[in-house]
Amino acid sequence: MPTFRSLLACCGLALSGCASGAGADSWVELNGQRYSVEIADDDAERARGLMFRDELAQGRGMLFIHERQEPLAYWMKNTRIPLDILYFDSTRKLVSQQRDVPPCSMGDRCPPYPSDAPARFVLELNAGEAAKLGLKDGAELTFGPGLPKL
């Protein structure tokens, strides 16, 4: 069962703009496609997520880093853009996908989108990216040199 803390660390809770780590070396690669990512690696950044944004530029995403691998559930509270929510385990293997998750303006009544297996990393991309990449569970997420070595 997802923890309340993991629900708070949801994909959509951003008050504004940027999380940390949005430098030139902050990128991930998935199925041969590179994405520049903002990093959400503490409770405040994970809580902000992508809330209130009107768009996520092509080729960009947000990477959420959790301290430990556990069942996670993200929600779209106050998120204005549809997203793909991709869950990865500690070895950075894709363990669960929530594709084409719609925006939600219902506040705390927004539904959760849980992982099917314990996860440690969550990558949020524009809706449709997972389909475009033909993602299958087991795909490996590669971290660029600007990301923490975990």
Percent of the chain residues past pLDDT 70, beyond the cut: 83
Beta-carbon contacts of residue 31 (< 8 Å; ≥ 6 apart): 133, 134, 135, 139
Which CATH number is correct for 4-143, 1.20.1250.20, 2.60.120.1140, 3.50.50.60, 1.10.340.30? 2.60.120.1140
What are 132's two structure tokens?
Answer: 């475009």
105 by Cβ neighbours in 10 Å (0-12 / 13-18 / 19+) ranks as: exposed
Q: How confident is the model at residue 148 (pLDDT cuts 50, 70, 90)?
A: confident
Strand stretches in 1-150, DSSP E: 27-30, 33-40, 60-70, 73-75, 83-88, 94-101, 112-114, 119-126, 141-143
pLDDT of residue 149: 73
pLDDT of residue 48: 86
Question: What is the arithmetic mean of pLDDT over 118-130?
Answer: 98
Q: Please give the Cα distance from 114 to 85 (Å, whole number).
A: 9
pLDDT of residue 6: 44
The structural domains of the chain, with segments of one domain joined by +, span: 4-143
Q: Please give the Cα distance from 63 to 11 (Å, whole number).
A: 10
Per-residue pLDDT reduced to its tens digit, 28-81 = 999 999 999 999 999 989 988 999 999 999 999 999 999 999 999 999 999 999
pLDDT of residue 24: 52
Query: In sequence order, which ranges of 13-107 are alpha helices (DSSP H)?
Result: 43-48
Beta-carbon contacts of residue 70 (< 8 Å; ≥ 6 apart): 3, 6, 118, 119, 120
pLDDT of residue 96 exceeding 90: yes
